[in-house]
Amino acid sequence: MSLWISNPNWIVGALSLPPVAIFALNYAVVRSYMEIGDLKNLNVSLSTNLAIFFFSFIAPGFLIFYQYQPEAFLTIDVSKLVVLAIAISSPTFVFPFVFTALFANMIARLMPAHRYLWGTPTDWYLKHGAGNALNMYTMIAAVWVFDLSGSYLFWLILFTVALNLVVETAALLMFIKKPSSQHSVWFERFSNPGAEVNKHE
């Protein structure tokens, strides 16, 4: 390694490599410094987060936009389509997520010894992301089966947001009564590989 540092010619040579070769070189270096087990955990965690993002925000928004504006769906710019898809799918995720974060602060004040059982923002993202995917596909099925207009979809989204807030409040009350990670941490192995969330229980 000291030979490489003392000889700057290798830097010039590396910069002249094609992008694919540079990427392959970087990947090989990173791979050499990681344990195989850690790499597997990283792949699982990354795959889970990306899957939640796609099936909770992108895909539902695409389907809803295509349902109501099929011509525009085929002509609109992809980047704008992604932004619209996220905007359509976000409300049923954002409000419960914010409530979970607010409840975390409340738990930290009322029962700090059990705060860790409520999870981390990554846990909440996975939990509400999975729930949001389920909610969105249920609404899409209702829109498709009953041929509902956009106004009905708006009320469905509003009802789902309200229902999620009720469920999250109920989870808080059950947590206060009996602290447990099951109320907010559904994917602890994916969000924090190797961690034992319930080790203090």
Quick one: three-class SS letters along 42-72? HHHHHHHHHHHHHHHHHHHHHHHHHHHCHHH
d(CA 107, CA 175): 9
Quote the tokens at residue 188: 């602890």
pLDDT in tens, 128-180: 999 999 999 999 999 999 999 999 999 999 999 999 999 999 999 999 999 98
Enumerate residues 6+ apart whose C-beta is below 8 A from 70: none
Band (pLDDT 50/70/90 cuts) for residue 83 is very high
117: which 2 tokens? 């059982």
Residue 36 has pLDDT above 50, yes or no: no
Q: What is the largest CA-CA distance in the chain?
A: 71
pLDDT digits (tens, 9 = 90+) for 85-94: 999 999 999 9
Q: What are phi and psi of 57, to 5 degrees?
A: -120, -50
Instruction: Give pLDDT, residue 201.
Output: 42
Q: Would you say the C-alpha torsion 122, 115, 133, 93 has a positive or negative sign?
A: negative
Q: Which one, of 125, 104, 98, 101, lies nearest residue 176 by Cα?
A: 104
Amino acid in position 176: I
Predicted local confidence at residue 128, as pLDDT: 94
